[in-house]
Amino acid sequence: MPWIAGADGFKSQWCVVLQNVESGELRARICPSFAGLLTLAEKPSVITVDIPIGLPEVTRPGGRLCEQQARKILGSRASSVFSAVGRAALRAHSQVEADQISRDAGGLGVGAHAWGLAEKLREADAVMTPERQHLVREVHPEVSFWAMNGRSPLPAGKKTLEGMLGRMDALEAEGFPSTFVRQLPVGLRVGRDDFLDACAALWTARRISAGLAERLPEQLDLDSRGLDQAIWF
pTM of the complete model beyond 0.85: yes
Nearest-5° Cα angle at 43, 148 to 10: 55
Which of these ranges, 61-65, 109-113, 147-151, 173-177, has the smallest mean pLDDT?
109-113
Distances (CA, A) of 9 to 88, 124, 155: 22, 11, 23
- Is 117 a residue whose pLDDT tops 80? yes
* Stretch (H or E) spanning 231: strand 231-232
pLDDT, position 1: 58
Query: Could you give the 3-state DSSP secondary structure of residue 165?
Result: helix
- Residue 54: which residues within 8 A CB-CB, separation 6 or more? 64, 128, 138, 221, 222, 223, 225, 227, 228, 229, 230
In tens, the pLDDT along 97-108 reads 999 999 999 999
- Is 169 a residue whose pLDDT tops 90? yes
Domains of the chain with CATH codes: 3-53+134-209 (3.30.420)
Distances (CA, A) of 6 to 76, 196, 202: 25, 10, 4
pLDDT, position 151: 97
Distances (CA, A) of 128 to 25, 52, 119, 189: 28, 11, 14, 27
Report the percent of the chain where pLDDT is more than 70: 100
For the chain, give the mean pLDDT.
Answer: 96
Report the percent of the chain where pLDDT is more than 90: 95
Q: How many residues does the chain have?
A: 233
Q: Output phi, psi for 148, to 5 deg.
A: -65, -35
